[in-house]
Protein backbone atom coordinates (compact mmCIF):
# COMPACT_ATOMS: atom_id res chain seq x y z
CA UNK A 1 0.00 0.00 0.00
CA UNK A 2 2.82 2.40 0.78
CA UNK A 3 5.60 3.57 -1.48
CA UNK A 4 8.79 4.41 0.36
CA UNK A 5 9.78 6.77 -2.49
CA UNK A 6 6.68 8.85 -1.77
CA UNK A 7 6.42 8.32 1.97
CA UNK A 8 9.71 8.40 3.90
CA UNK A 9 7.83 7.30 7.02
CA UNK A 10 6.24 3.87 6.38
CA UNK A 11 3.05 2.94 8.15
CA UNK A 12 3.58 1.39 11.57
CA UNK A 13 1.61 -1.31 13.35
CA UNK A 14 2.40 -1.51 17.07
CA UNK A 15 1.20 -4.34 19.28
CA UNK A 16 0.80 -4.01 23.03
CA UNK A 17 0.65 -7.09 25.26
CA UNK A 18 -0.61 -6.50 28.78
CA UNK A 19 0.46 -9.89 30.07
CA UNK A 20 2.58 -9.76 33.24
CA UNK A 21 4.34 -13.02 32.34
CA UNK A 22 6.88 -14.18 29.78
CA UNK A 23 6.40 -16.34 27.78
CA UNK A 24 2.80 -15.37 27.21
CA UNK A 25 -0.08 -16.55 25.05
CA UNK A 26 -1.34 -12.99 24.92
CA UNK A 27 1.96 -11.79 23.50
CA UNK A 28 1.89 -14.62 20.98
CA UNK A 29 -1.60 -13.60 19.87
CA UNK A 30 -0.74 -9.90 19.65
CA UNK A 31 2.37 -10.77 17.61
CA UNK A 32 0.36 -12.99 15.28
CA UNK A 33 -2.36 -10.41 14.65
CA UNK A 34 0.12 -7.55 14.29
CA UNK A 35 2.12 -9.44 11.69
CA UNK A 36 -1.06 -10.27 9.75
CA UNK A 37 -2.15 -6.63 9.74
CA UNK A 38 1.35 -5.41 8.90
CA UNK A 39 1.62 -7.77 5.96
CA UNK A 40 -1.73 -6.58 4.61
CA UNK A 41 -0.75 -2.91 4.92
CA UNK A 42 2.91 -3.33 3.94
CA UNK A 43 3.73 -1.71 7.28
CA UNK A 44 6.51 -1.91 9.84
CA UNK A 45 5.52 -4.08 12.81
CA UNK A 46 6.68 -4.12 16.42
CA UNK A 47 5.27 -5.47 19.68
CA UNK A 48 5.63 -3.97 23.14
CA UNK A 49 5.51 -6.48 25.96
CA UNK A 50 4.59 -4.68 29.18
CA UNK A 51 5.97 -7.33 31.55
CA UNK A 52 9.57 -6.03 31.40
CA UNK A 53 8.31 -2.46 31.95
CA UNK A 54 6.49 -3.13 35.22
CA UNK A 55 9.21 -1.67 37.43
CA UNK A 56 9.52 1.49 35.31
CA UNK A 57 5.76 1.96 35.12
CA UNK A 58 5.48 1.78 38.90
CA UNK A 59 8.00 4.49 39.70
CA UNK A 60 5.44 7.20 40.30
CA UNK A 61 2.01 8.57 39.45
CA UNK A 62 3.15 10.90 36.68
CA UNK A 63 4.50 10.14 33.23
CA UNK A 64 7.62 12.16 33.99
CA UNK A 65 8.37 9.74 36.85
CA UNK A 66 8.63 6.73 34.55
CA UNK A 67 11.80 5.10 33.27
CA UNK A 68 13.14 5.70 29.74
CA UNK A 69 11.96 2.37 28.31
CA UNK A 70 8.41 2.95 29.52
CA UNK A 71 8.40 6.47 28.15
CA UNK A 72 9.68 5.24 24.77
CA UNK A 73 6.93 2.60 24.70
CA UNK A 74 4.24 5.19 25.42
CA UNK A 75 5.54 7.41 22.64
CA UNK A 76 5.64 4.51 20.17
CA UNK A 77 2.00 3.72 20.91
CA UNK A 78 0.93 7.34 20.52
CA UNK A 79 2.77 7.66 17.19
CA UNK A 80 1.64 4.33 15.69
CA UNK A 81 -0.69 4.31 12.70
CA UNK A 82 -2.47 1.13 13.87
CA UNK A 83 -2.53 -0.56 17.28
CA UNK A 84 -3.15 -4.19 18.17
CA UNK A 85 -3.75 -4.43 21.91
CA UNK A 86 -4.22 -7.50 24.06
CA UNK A 87 -4.58 -8.63 27.65
CA UNK A 88 -5.19 -11.90 29.46
CA UNK A 89 -8.40 -12.08 31.45
CA UNK A 90 -7.78 -11.44 35.13
CA UNK A 91 -10.56 -11.05 37.68
CA UNK A 92 -13.06 -10.61 34.83
CA UNK A 93 -11.16 -7.74 33.21
CA UNK A 94 -7.80 -6.75 31.70
CA UNK A 95 -4.70 -6.81 33.86
CA UNK A 96 -3.70 -3.97 36.16
CA UNK A 97 -0.47 -3.73 34.17
CA UNK A 98 -2.44 -3.08 30.97
CA UNK A 99 -4.52 -0.36 32.69
CA UNK A 100 -1.44 1.18 34.33
CA UNK A 101 0.25 1.57 30.95
CA UNK A 102 -2.74 3.19 29.28
CA UNK A 103 -3.28 5.45 32.31
CA UNK A 104 -0.14 7.27 31.10
CA UNK A 105 -1.24 7.68 27.48
CA UNK A 106 -2.24 11.21 26.51
CA UNK A 107 -6.01 11.66 26.71
CA UNK A 108 -6.34 12.61 23.04
CA UNK A 109 -3.28 10.80 21.68
CA UNK A 110 -5.31 7.82 20.44
CA UNK A 111 -8.28 9.79 19.05
CA UNK A 112 -9.41 8.26 15.72
CA UNK A 113 -6.52 5.77 15.80
CA UNK A 114 -7.49 2.32 14.41
CA UNK A 115 -7.22 -0.31 17.15
CA UNK A 116 -7.73 -4.07 16.96
CA UNK A 117 -8.76 -5.56 20.31
CA UNK A 118 -7.58 -9.00 21.41
CA UNK A 119 -7.73 -10.98 24.64
CA UNK A 120 -6.90 -14.42 26.01
CA UNK A 121 -8.26 -16.55 28.83
CA UNK A 122 -8.34 -20.03 30.25
CA UNK A 123 -11.73 -20.80 28.71
CA UNK A 124 -14.38 -19.31 26.47
CA UNK A 125 -16.33 -17.95 29.43
CA UNK A 126 -14.02 -14.91 29.39
CA UNK A 127 -14.70 -14.08 25.75
CA UNK A 128 -16.83 -11.00 26.53
CA UNK A 129 -13.75 -9.28 27.99
CA UNK A 130 -13.15 -7.69 24.60
CA UNK A 131 -16.60 -6.13 24.32
CA UNK A 132 -17.45 -5.37 27.95
CA UNK A 133 -14.08 -4.16 29.24
CA UNK A 134 -11.62 -3.30 26.48
CA UNK A 135 -13.91 -1.52 24.02
CA UNK A 136 -15.18 0.99 26.62
CA UNK A 137 -11.60 1.79 27.66
CA UNK A 138 -10.65 2.80 24.14
CA UNK A 139 -13.99 4.51 23.72
CA UNK A 140 -12.75 6.90 26.40
CA UNK A 141 -9.74 7.65 24.18
CA UNK A 142 -12.11 8.24 21.21
CA UNK A 143 -10.23 5.58 19.26
CA UNK A 144 -11.52 3.79 16.19
CA UNK A 145 -11.91 0.32 17.67
CA UNK A 146 -12.41 -2.06 14.78
CA UNK A 147 -15.64 -4.10 14.80
CA UNK A 148 -14.26 -7.61 15.16
CA UNK A 149 -12.39 -8.35 18.35
CA UNK A 150 -10.32 -11.53 18.71
CA UNK A 151 -10.51 -13.76 21.77
CA UNK A 152 -8.43 -16.92 22.20
CA UNK A 153 -8.56 -19.56 24.92
CA UNK A 154 -5.77 -21.75 26.25
CA UNK A 155 -6.59 -24.55 23.82
CA UNK A 156 -5.79 -22.33 20.84
CA UNK A 157 -2.06 -22.43 21.63
CA UNK A 158 0.72 -24.99 21.70
CA UNK A 159 4.00 -24.01 23.36
CA UNK A 160 2.92 -20.35 23.36
CA UNK A 161 2.29 -20.35 19.62
CA UNK A 162 -0.99 -19.90 17.78
CA UNK A 163 -1.89 -23.47 16.78
CA UNK A 164 -5.65 -23.47 16.19
CA UNK A 165 -6.96 -23.42 12.61
CA UNK A 166 -10.14 -21.84 13.96
CA UNK A 167 -8.19 -19.00 15.59
CA UNK A 168 -6.09 -18.53 12.45
CA UNK A 169 -9.29 -18.24 10.43
CA UNK A 170 -10.78 -15.73 12.88
CA UNK A 171 -7.65 -13.59 12.61
CA UNK A 172 -7.75 -13.83 8.82
CA UNK A 173 -11.42 -12.84 8.77
CA UNK A 174 -10.79 -9.90 11.09
CA UNK A 175 -7.95 -8.60 8.94
CA UNK A 176 -9.85 -9.12 5.70
CA UNK A 177 -12.98 -7.36 6.93
CA UNK A 178 -11.16 -4.47 8.61
CA UNK A 179 -8.62 -3.82 5.85
CA UNK A 180 -11.03 -1.55 3.90
CA UNK A 181 -11.61 0.48 7.07
CA UNK A 182 -7.89 0.73 7.72
CA UNK A 183 -7.03 1.77 4.18
CA UNK A 184 -9.84 4.35 4.15
CA UNK A 185 -8.57 5.78 7.43
CA UNK A 186 -4.90 5.77 6.38
CA UNK A 187 -5.28 6.80 2.73
CA UNK A 188 -4.99 10.54 3.56
CA UNK A 189 -1.47 9.86 4.83
CA UNK A 190 -0.52 8.54 1.41
CA UNK A 191 -2.17 11.46 -0.36
CA UNK A 192 -0.31 13.96 1.80
CA UNK A 193 3.01 12.20 1.17
CA UNK A 194 2.36 12.12 -2.57
CA UNK A 195 1.50 15.80 -2.66
CA UNK A 196 4.67 16.63 -0.74
CA UNK A 197 6.83 14.50 -3.04
CA UNK A 198 5.31 15.94 -6.25
CA UNK A 199 4.58 19.65 -5.71
CA UNK A 200 2.60 21.60 -8.32
CA UNK A 201 5.62 23.63 -9.32
CA UNK A 202 7.76 20.58 -10.13
Which pLDDT tens digit goes with each residue over 6-15? Answer: 445 689 999 9
Query: How many Cβ atoms from other residues are within 10 Å of residue 174's Cβ?
Result: 21
Q: Is 196:129 a contact under the CB 8 Å cutoff? A: no
CB 122 within 8 A of CB 151: no
Q: Got the DSSP string for 101-113? A: HHHTS-TTTTTT-
In this predicted structure, what is the pLDDT of residue 125? 81
Distances from the Cα of 159 to the Cαs of 18, 24, 162, 163, in angstroms?
19, 10, 9, 9
The domains of the chain are located at 14-182
33 to 77, 93, 96, 162, 193: CA distances (angstroms): 16, 21, 22, 10, 27
C-alpha to C-alpha distance for 195 and 158, rounded to whole angstroms: 48
SS3 category, 49:
strand
pLDDT at 92: 86
Q: What is the pLDDT of residues 140-193, one digit of tens each?
A: 999 999 999 999 999 999 999 999 999 999 999 999 999 998 888 886 655 444
Residue 5 pLDDT level (bands cut at 50, 70, 90): very low
pTM, two decimal places: 0.88
CATH of domain 14-182: 3.40.50.360
Mean pLDDT of the chain: 89
pLDDT exceeds cutoff 50 at 197: no
* pLDDT at 187 (0 to 100): 67
Distance CA 126, CA 128 (A): 6
Amino acid sequence: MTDTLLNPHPLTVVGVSGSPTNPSRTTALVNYVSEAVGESLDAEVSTISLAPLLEELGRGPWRSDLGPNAQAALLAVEQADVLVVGSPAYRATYTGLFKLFFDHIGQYSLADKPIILTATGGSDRHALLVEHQMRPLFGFFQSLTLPLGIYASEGDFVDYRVASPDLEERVSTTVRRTLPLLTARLRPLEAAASAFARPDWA
